[in-house]
Amino acid sequence: MNRGPLLFLGAFFALSLSWFGIILSPQLQIGSQNPSDAADLGIRHPAPRSGDAHAGLQVYRAAGCVYCHSQQVGQGGVIFDVALTKAGIFADDVANAILRVNSDLGRAVVSNGVGNTNGFIFMRDVDFETADHAMKRVGEVGGNVETALIPKPTGRDIKLGWGARRSVARDYLYEYPVQLGSQRIGPDLTNIGNRRPDAAWHYRHLYAPNTVIGGSAMPGYRYLFEEADKEEDAVTVKIGDQEHRVVPTEKGRQLVAYLLSLRNGPRLFETPMPKQVKPQPAIAVADPAGAQ
Amino acid sequence: MSDEAKNNDLNPAEDREPSVSDVAVPMWMMGLLIVLLWFGMLFLDQRAGGFDEQVYRPYPSLAFVENLSVTDPPSIARGRALYNVNCAGCHQSNGGGVSGQFPPLRGSDWVTAPKADRLVRVAMNGLKGPIHINGESFNDAGTAVMLSVGSDNKFNAEQMADLLSFIRASKDIGNSSPMVAPDDITDAMAAAESRGKTPWTEAELMAIPVE
């Protein structure tokens, strides 16, 4: 140990370097994020959870859902549509320019589309270079012609319907602890509130997964239910020949409220999407009779 | 103890303090490390979007994302949602009001004044008594009261700014006055804090400069 100070300095710098890299720089980068305006939809995202849904996160944790389900949507890439939003005064020249950049379209379709004031998508599912080139060619015509680029997220997760766009840091503002998950033995749950908006479905699924999803590997969570003589949220589950009429306990209700609050949010600044993508209507009412 | 001492005597190498001699890092390894570091920096520089918090894969830069994003200023969009819930019931969704009952917001000299100081106070505390708008008098009997929209911390300053910006500067209402910043709200509220939460009257508000 004749180089004690040197060893100390070496260890000190190695540890502080990782602290700077793993703790400090992410904090500086995304530590001050706020809920955002969801662009043109006039709502805030993410919305804080309240009541049952907030408590449900702890039930989700305790039940170990995170060991088989992730909550992060990946995005492989982005493809673009190109739309004509305003034909301007040289409509015929614009139609010719569109036919030159996309000869697959018929002349009748194009001249019809140029006359349509609500926007005419003349190119679909192309990469940025192609879209940019097409916009420049059409823009060259002049006369107040206007085109718009419509970005569409793509990727395996999005194709599976797990979300409309990738997850970003802002989506997790009210998650503590964040249940990102690393295993996908079951599907991703980022958007489960939109995909399965029916609380009764969730109750049946949690009680006996196989009865609603054939061949499901998920275990039943029957301790979240009781056989009480109550009407509220009661569901009837048919296992084999037996019919079970069960009522969720408080924890079961909280977990389902949490699941229904999981929504792959609307468009944010950092995740451009087509304007038409709107969030689904609010949580559906549970089916009181539990009828399938 | 004496046994151990004996063993150590037999093997004196274990008794010594370890020491480091001068061994230099080979030059080829230094070169390799420098090349790897250079490559890593190039890689990050090309793909990290300038380390901006709002740039995610596959977008290359903030300018690219901005280009794809919506153009409507965000506070107008948020204000629209607040207006439709809190104001449109009386003032109507186009801000036209109802003649003789609910004052109009469109083109009103109270709304479109250069500074929003009076408007902020009305929205935060409400208004009572007769009032004159563009020369037309409303509420001559003095019985009707405009309820407070923003007191009791229902909205924060930013939301109030969104709402009032929508009223002052959106196409929906048809006004084109300057937007309201959250700081304008907090300043006006701090100045009027001693008044408590009683609704304003026209005479009181006229004393506040808006030019």
Q: How far is A32 from B100, CA to CA, in rounded Å?
A: 48
Judge: B70–A40 Cβ closer than 8 Å, yes or no.
Answer: yes
Written as tens digits, the pLDDT of chain B (211 aa) is: 445 555 555 566 677 777 777 788 899 999 999 999 999 999 988 888 888 888 888 888 888 887 776 544 556 777 887 888 888 888 888 888 888 788 889 888 888 888 888 888 888 888 888 888 888 888 877 777 787 776 666 777 778 888 888 888 887 888 888 888 877 888 888 888 788 778 888 888 888 888 7
What residue in A sits closest to B51 (Cα-Cα)? A29
What single letter denotes the amino acid at residue A273?
M
Whether the predicted interface score ipTM is above 0.90: no
A64 burial via Cβ count (<10 Å: 0-12, 13-18, 19+): exposed
Judge: A2–B81 Cβ closer than 8 Å, yes or no.
Answer: no
Is A3's Cβ below 8 Å from some Cβ in B?
Answer: yes
- Contacting residues of B for A39, CB less than 8 Å apart: 69-70, 72, 74, 77
A285 φ/ψ angles, rounded to the nearest 5 degrees: -80, 140
Query: Which pLDDT does position A249 carry in this prediction?
Result: 93
Judge: B17–A2 Cβ closer than 8 Å, yes or no.
Answer: yes
Query: Which pLDDT does position A8 carry in this prediction?
Result: 95
Query: Which pLDDT does position A282 carry in this prediction?
Result: 40
Judge: A30–B59 Cβ closer than 8 Å, yes or no.
Answer: no
Nearest CB among B53, B67, B72 relative to A30 is that of: B53
Judge: A42–B69 Cβ closer than 8 Å, yes or no.
Answer: no
Series of mean pLDDT values for 10-residue runs along chain A (292 residues): 87 97 91 71 73 93 95 92 82 88 86 76 90 88 80 90 89 90 93 89 93 91 89 84 90 94 82 60 40 36
Question: Mean of the per-residue pLDDT values for chain B?
Answer: 81
- Contacting residues of B for A29, CB less than 8 Å apart: 51, 53
- What's this model's pTM, rounded to 2 decimal places? 0.64
Query: Which pLDDT does position A290 carry in this prediction?
Result: 38
CB-based contact A146:A63 (threshold 8 Å): no
CB-based contact B130:B140 (threshold 8 Å): yes
Nearest CB among A42, A166, A272 relative to B80 is that of: A42
Q: Long-range pairs for A99-107 at CB < 8 Å and ≥24 separation?
A: A100/A137, A101/A133, A101/A134, A101/A137, A101/A138, A102/A134
Query: Which pLDDT does position A38 carry in this prediction?
Result: 55
Chain B: closest CA distance from residue A165 (Å): 11
